[in-house]
Amino acid sequence: MNPETSPLLAQLLNAETVAEQVTTLRLLKHELIGYDQRKEAWVHWGIIPLLSRVLLSKTGGSKKPAVAGEQNGVTDRSDAINDRTEDEEACLQATIIVGSLAQGGPAFISPILSSSIVPSLLSILASDCSQSLTLPILKTFNTIADRYILQNVNWPQDNHLAELLFAPDHISCYAHIIARSSPSPATQSCISLAATLIAKICTDESHKNALAEYGSLDALAMNLASFVVAQGFVLPGAENHLNQDGALSSLPPPAPSTAKLAPILRAASVLVENSKSRAEHFLSSPGILTVFPGRLPEFSPTDIKKNPWGMPYLSGTAVPRQIHSNPFDVILPSVPLNQSSALSNFPPLVPMGSFHKRSLSFLESSPSDEEENAIIPWLIHLVRTESGMSRVMAARLVTALFRLELVKKHRIPMFSFIIIPILLQMLDKTYDFKAAADPEYDGLIKTTLRLKEEVPFILAALVMDTNELQKHAAEGNAIKKLSQLLKETYNTHQVNAKVTWSAETTKNDLHSEISSEVQLGSVGFSPMTCHILRYREGILRTLASLALFSDDYRKLFCENGVVPYVINALKPRPSTTTEDATETKNGSSDGNPIPTILAACGATRALTRSVSVLRTSMIDAGVATPLLELFVHPDIEVQVAATSVLCNLALDFSPMRESLVSPETLSTLCDHAHSPNVKLRLESLWVLKHIVYNAANDLRIKIINGLEPSWLGEVMSTDPINKAGFLQDPDTGSLLGMGTSNSAGEKVDLLNPLEDVENVDETMDSALEAGSNTSSEAFLPDATRLKKLALSGELYRKNQARLDDFAVQEQVLNIVRNSMVGNESSEIVDLLLKEIGHNDFLDILADKVRPRPVPTRRDSPSRPTTPPMPSEILLAVTYVIINIAAGPPRYRDLLFSHRTLLKDLQCLYEYPNSQIRVNCVWVALNLTFADNHSDQPGCRERALKLKALGYVDRLRALEKDPDLNVRERNKTALDQFRSLIDL
């Protein structure tokens, strides 16, 4: 059959009434369902543009009821067929046809996404359409999402579908759907499908923030609260706190028996992960505050008095008694207390996927002192008592909150003895998830396989940066299990899959002038291939987390033979877009998608922290070759991850350091150091910092010239503190800044002039006004709460930007510092002084150590303090000054020639960081050290100048310093002064 002879196509093209259109669409639906070859033919005949026009033209305005209809064979009794208009019936049939086409496989997703079908369906969904339309639309979206991921295993780098589904004009519809409370099965299916769609597709931070802002997070919290009510876990006395502190006026209705808990937990986990502000948004939602109210301080009965008319009041000496135990703890078993914590021989690595976040001490967040929400023990209880998807997603949500420091440290033993053993059991082949097939989760492979795929990611996030949890995981045989599972991901798995590709399709696809709406896309990858590759990614992430601290664990991984498999995981997949869907290509020769490569880079980086592993297993596996290829990979995230591994290979003791100093590699590193991507810029500077240390002079000069001395001077002179203004706390009205925690518990900078505080309210009010005309207005946060949440997010963004700028500046200073170490370093100093300028170079150093006023409020006087610079910056600056002072006499005299440098440096002799105090003593030592007898007069003169500046008094004040290293260096310095001048 061809398009000219197809009667259905002619009827659809020539339909004069909506009724004729509905009849033709219904016939076409029956012709297509289950026949992939017919679907392919109809795509080439132009069915996608026709369906686009049908959906685009239907607004539900027709008043004539449809004669008949069905919802993919299932009638929704809560929304009778005869209640649908003809336009709605046409939309329904078109939606079912689109879903049927999508079920044909990934090849059909490209033409669908090339059309206006998804925006049209989303518009219909957001127009408060009938439930008989809502359910098939959500099913179609989930079907498209499942196959879309198979199109490109590099997902989630490709976010095209998410951009369509989370468009700003209609994003509020998800909150409206999730917040429904009808017990009907159709309504509950809509809720589960909407939550599942968010969990499948929402990977971008901007989309997560938008969903939270437009009510989806609050709707999920409300839904979760209904399960708490249904299970009878509302805390005693919660009804006494209704309408208080943002709570609801009444308890949420209990979740009906048809409701599903797991999709709600899954969507909530996805939205709160990696964001403390969104997590606090979730925990401060009215639904959560209603069922889990914060504990109020209690008073002794003797402190409560009554006035003459019987009203109680507190005596003037009343002191609140805080109840520290959580009432929910009674439903959890007792666990042994933490006896000891493992020590680390290395500082912790940054989290996976965030290779650039090397924290600076003055901006580090500290655990919140706020009360732990009672949802934490409830989630732990779910992990113990639930099964299947609910158990896995409860573990994922409580782990996400733990990673964000919203779980108290005393819970760590509970995680060790309850959560970790359960997760490790789930890794066993014999573990029974007791999970029934759930097509709403992902009907392409077994639900148990999808759940098993989630477990390594949860375990990786849980044990990261926590010694005790790593210890319990290792003692639970995690290393051996993970090693075996990693090897098994390279086994060949045959898949029975239908191939819809044909010679006709290939021929048509060769014509680039053909519209993308009438030709199939890539056949994509089999569901099993994607599952195995994602499972491999999770295992590699867990491996990286477990190998963070302990050299013993790293060696144990190597003994289990994982290194060759980790190195194989660094190999990218071929660039070809067409795969044979009849077999699973997951072997070592088939390559890996970008997410798996990123995880492999993290695992490689963790393993290379061991000197012995670096000198043996890594050399044997040839790790340098694939890393240098990834170093210039087209994807910038892969470049960042590979460069972060090169940091370890560039260390002075690394046998692979020589492979990094080729002209091509150095040139690329210098180019990357100028990248607009701050993560790539920072990691490249780290590598160059290691390479330049103790290198030959020509190599150091090549690196400095490659980076450009003028650029080095520009970065060193930048003041990140003054790049952003203050923001105002919406509760107290005080200025938020360094030394003050925002609502997320994160330290922010107090060192910027507040220029735009007056505009904050106007900006936030405008945002509220713009977002108030949505169909889900009832589920939006109230004005004050939304303003506070938005302000918290803005503070975090500015705080992170400052941290990045300081981190880059620190590494540039360290490059300058390391380039001044070694033989003939005076040539490097001359080069820097010449290119940057003698006075400009010293001005930069002086500016970093100069005391400056710190504003607190506009109406309060400023007061001088110690330099408001991170200790890492001050440490790097003092090392640079030490190296200059260790040079020839002309460099030492140059330091004295600056009008304020040595004078301002004195304040650092009282700095809290002991290493900075030691460095200051070293400056005095180097300035007064005689290289030979002829330098004695110059040293005496410099000693007199230092005494006049007050350095001798500073040194004497350090004689009783609490740090032994400071006292010993200080003793040597004073003896040296006494040998030169009278003290």
pLDDT tens string 154-176: 667 678 899 999 999 999 999 99
CB 13 within 8 A of CB 6: no
Residue type, 494: Q
Q: Which of 10-14, 93-97, 122-126 has the lowest mean pLDDT?
A: 10-14
CB 439 within 8 A of CB 523: no
Of the ranges 592-606, 765-779, 817-831, the best mean pLDDT one: 592-606
- What is the rounded CA–CA span in Å between residue 214 and residue 372? 26
Q: Which of 309-318, 340-349, 737-746 has the lowest mean pLDDT?
A: 737-746
Average pLDDT over residues 693-718: 92
Tracing tokens 């003896």 back to the chain, one arrives at 975
Mean pLDDT taken over the chain: 80
Pseudo-torsion of CA 700, 701, 707, 712, nearest 10°? 90
- What is the rounded CA–CA span in Å between residue 201 and residue 193? 12
- What is the rounded CA–CA span in Å between residue 455 and residue 436? 18
In percent, the amount of the chain with pLDDT more than 90 equals: 51
- What is the rounded CA–CA span in Å between residue 740 and residue 722? 17
Span 1-151 CATH architecture: Alpha Horseshoe (1.25)
- Supply the pLDDT for residue 793: 64
Q: What angle do CA 529, 569, 804 make, to 5 degrees?
A: 110
- By three-state DSSP, how is residue 65 classified? strand
- Supply the pLDDT for residue 657: 85
Q: Which of 332-341, 646-655, 779-788 has the lowest mean pLDDT?
A: 779-788
- By three-state DSSP, how is residue 864 classified? strand
pLDDT per position as a tens digit, 393-445 = 999 999 999 999 999 988 999 999 999 999 999 999 889 888 776 766 777 88
Residue among 193, 184, 197, 195 nearest 145 (CA): 197
pLDDT value at 554 more than 60: yes
pLDDT value at 974 more than 90: yes
Q: What angle do CA 237, 238, 240 make, to 5 degrees?
A: 70
Kind of pairing between the strands at 312-314 and 304-306: antiparallel
The CB-side HSE value for 63 (13 A sphere, CA atoms) comes to 0
Q: What angle do CA 594, 595, 601 make, to 5 degrees?
A: 85
Residue among 72, 124, 69 nearest 102 (CA): 72
- Supply the pLDDT for residue 747: 34
Residues 6+ apart with CB under 8 A from 175: 211, 214, 215, 216, 218, 219, 776, 779, 780
- What is the rounded CA–CA span in Å between residue 793 and residue 767? 14
Is there a common fold for 1-151 and 732-980? Answer: yes
Residues 6+ apart with CB under 8 A from 295: 322, 323, 371
pLDDT value at 509 more than 70: no
The domain locations on the chain are 1-151, 732-980
Average pLDDT over residues 695-716: 93
What burial class does residue 677 get, using C-beta atoms within 10 Å of its C-beta: 0-12 exposed, 13-18 middle, 19+ buried?
A: middle
Percentage helix, strand, coil, to 5, in the chain? 60, 5, 35
Pseudo-torsion of CA 557, 604, 363, 467, nearest 10°? 0
In percent, the amount of the chain with pLDDT more than 70 equals: 76
pLDDT value at 303 more than 50: yes
- What is the rounded CA–CA span in Å between residue 369 and residue 4? 73
Q: Which residues pair with 314 in a beta bridge?
A: 304
Higher pLDDT among residues 359 and 530, named by residue: 530
How is residue 237 annotated by DSSP?
A: T
Q: What's this model's pTM, rounded to 2 decimal places? A: 0.83
- Supply the pLDDT for residue 584: 60
What burial class does residue 724 get, using C-beta atoms within 10 Å of its C-beta: 0-12 exposed, 13-18 middle, 19+ buried?
A: buried
Average pLDDT over residues 23-40: 89
Residue type, 730: P
Helix or strand (DSSP H, E) at 600:
helix 594-607
- Supply the pLDDT for residue 12: 83
Q: Which of 130-139, 549-558, 578-587 has the lowest mean pLDDT?
A: 578-587
Q: What angle do CA 786, 790, 795 make, to 5 degrees?
A: 150
CATH 3.40.50.150 for domain 732-980, yes or no, is no
CB 267 within 8 A of CB 191: no
Average pLDDT over residues 923-949: 91
Instruction: For helices 825-836 and 889-897, give the axis angle rounded to 10 degrees.
Output: 30
Tracing tokens 């070694």 back to the chain, one arrives at 822
- What is the rounded CA–CA span in Å between residue 444 and residue 534? 15
pLDDT value at 801 more than 60: yes
pLDDT value at 902 more than 80: yes
pLDDT per position as a tens digit, 42-83 = 988 889 999 999 898 865 444 443 433 333 333 343 444 456
